[in-house]
Structure 1
Amino acid sequence: MEYLTSPNMWWGTLGTIRPYSNFHPEQDVKEIQSALEKKDAVTLVRILTNRNNAQRQVIAKTFQEITDRDLGTTLKKVLSGDLEDLLLQLLMLPEQMEAQRLHQAMKYLGTDEDTLLEILCTRSGKRLQEISAAYKQMYKKELEKEMRGETSGAFAKLVVALLKKDSMAAAVHRDIQALIVSLNGKKADAEPWINILTSRNRDHLEKVLMGLELETGQTGEQIVEKHFSGDFRLGLNVLVQCIHSSDLYLAKRLATMKTLLVHGIMVCHSEEDLLGIRTKFLKLTGNSLYSALQNHFKGEHLQALLAICRSED
């Protein structure tokens, strides 16, 4: 692959897609134009999966300037199905892609809580601000308001707190005691769990969960399972899993091999931490992500996914 022969690969990142060093957008556009005329999906996949997102944005802009056409719209006329969806997603800005996923999670009857939680629990407060801004630009609606309308009770408070999450300094022991006290009543108090788990950094929360286990003899997951119920229990479970390892949580999601999930996670994490997710996937399933993809998908769609995954583990 072109990426593997690049002499100036970006080290120090866990992404699988990195900037292509010999980048010439005009040449890429020329090849893309020819590929579109011939309906040559192989060339389209080769170029779009071997450029990082910033370079794909330049390609799309250059295509517009040269042809006076939108690249995404033109791709739709040539491609179809899962391959079309995947390549169009590669052309989106990362925050637009995740805003779209959140919109789809709330669009139909019955909210997809798992996708809401995936994005809210694995993304930083800064990234969530960017996603919120992209959501407003794309759908002319406030993401927080949409979430409030699609959720209720303690779960609604949790997802809104996650959307606004920010790290605050606090004493580990004090947080542990606050969580223990919240469990002493006839009904567990959700507020301390929301306040603490959405406003501390990961290192702090790992210490809190470890201390909680030492004090109670139960893991965070066991406590959540015992004392809470419904969507709120689901939300806390995902949050606790992500505090321990967001890579492992995302690997579990990928293991379902559902097309929408595979697209969403692989595209959104391809330049950040997909190598880490791949490692956890292998440990979790005993099979590499690269091989798993070959067992579930086919054709040019498979080749595009393999190019994003990059290699066997």
Structure 2
Amino acid sequence: MATSVKVPANFNAESDANILKKAMKGLGTDEESIINILGHRSNAQRQEIKKVYHTLFGKALVKELKSELGGNFENVILALMVPPAEYDADELKRAMKGIGTDEDRLIEILCSRTNDELRAINRAYESKYKTVLEKDIKSETSGDFKRLLVSLLTCGRQENNNIDLQKAETDAKRLYEAGENMWGTDEAVFNSILVLQSYPQLRAVFDMYSNIAKKDIEDSIKSEMSGDLKAGMLAVVRIVKNKAAFFAKKLYDSMKGLGTDDDDLIRIIVSRSEKDMDEIKKEFQRLYGKTLEDFIKGDTSGDYKNILLALIS
């Protein structure tokens, strides 16, 4: 995976901590220095800077940043200071907080993370919120959609690269018999195959399915399912086919039309900047004929724009 954040070879946490302290000293704040440091360090390096800052100055860096910054710029900076698993856990908690549930956020995070990432999220969630993530998911969702998310949380997806073509054909037939070739839909069959098989194996299943059903698996899901379950199943399929394209579309959707969905924009850029942002940028340009940088420049401004550009540069 090609990351976007380019970290310095001569990283020095003490030097960075001193620069950040100077940037927040006295009247006004040197936002450019904050961007130059925090926008060009890995998350692990930011955690080291936090520790050193506290040791040097006896103050919590995050608290200092919070008192100096504001708006979406502050939101990005604070998000960057959280370890990835804890950040995902926080975002899942936010999705379930208060009246109503942000199903799209649940789908995006739970459908796109690896087994190891999901295990880390489970641990971070329980550690921070003193409850089990699966329990909260069960209380906030229902039916086949609940079963899909709970199945993903068990971290049982196979992760080898071996492809069994005979099994792929068998599973493709099972999917066809469970949907297009029957009255109604057996969602449990879709769930068991889409959640358990490895990405390479599922790509083979989807190819076989197209030959058998004479239509793409996405089209079958659209016609056979509805609501949150349809959205969740489509997300799994699209992530399996091309994860970078899935996130490129999410970024595009956050910025298209009037207004910007800053929550989505920030979350995706922060969470993908060290994973696959270079691939996402390529897919974005392929799909929309314009660079992600140009879209961000047109939809954001000031320090908020500059920190986002630093994270994808």
Normalising by structure 2, we get a TM-score of: 0.92
Q: Could you tell me which of 112, 125, 130 is aligned with 1:140?
A: 130
**Aligned counterparts of 1:94 and 1:246: Cα–Cα separation in 2:** 18
Which of 150, 169, 173 aligns to 2:169? It is: 173
CA offsets 1:255-278 (integer angstroms, 9 cap, x no match): 122211111111111111000011
Q: Show the 5 A alignment for 1:16-55.
A: 16-38=4-26, 39-55=29-45
2:92 pairs, out of 95, 98, 102, with: 102
Alpha-carbon distance between aligned partners in 1 of 2:46 and 2:72, rounded to the nearest angstrom? 19
From 93, 97, 101, the equivalent of 1:111 is 101
Per the TM alignment, residue 231 of structure 1 is displaced from its structure 2 partner at its CA by 1.4
Q: Deviations over 1:58-80 (max 9, x none)?
A: 10000011111111011111111
The one-letter code of the counterpart of 1:74 is E
1:290 lines up with 2:293 in the alignment: yes
Q: Which runs of 5+ in 1 are unaligned?
A: 1-12
Q: Let me know the Cα RMSD of the aligned residues.
A: 1.3
CA contact (8 A) 1:20 1:52 kept: no
AA paired with 1:132?
N
Q: Distance in 1 between matches of 2:4 and 2:224?
A: 40
- Relative to the length of structure 1, the TM-score reads 0.92
Match of residue 242 from structure 2: 245
The structure 2 residue matched to 1:305, chosen from 305, 308, 313, is 308
Instruction: Structure 2: state its 5+ residue gaps.
Output: 256-260
Checking the alignment, whether the CA contact within 8 Å between 2:169 and 2:209 is kept in structure 1 is no
Counterpart in the other structure of 1:3: none
Q: How many residues align?
A: 298
Question: Does the residue aligned with 2:196 lie in a helix, a strand or coil?
Answer: coil
- % identity of equivalent residues: 31
1:270 correspondence with 2:267: no
Residue identity in the other structure for 1:225? K
Tell me: CA distance 1:239–1:165, structure 2 relative to 1, closer, same or farther (3 Å).
Answer: same
Report the Cα offset of residue 167 of structure 1.
3.2
- State the one-letter code of the partner of 2:18: K
* Counterpart contact for 2:79–2:270, Cα < 8 Å: yes
Query: 1-side partners of 2:215 and 2:198: how far apart?
Result: 22
- Structure 2 residue aligned with 1:215: 212
Counterpart in the other structure of 1:5: none
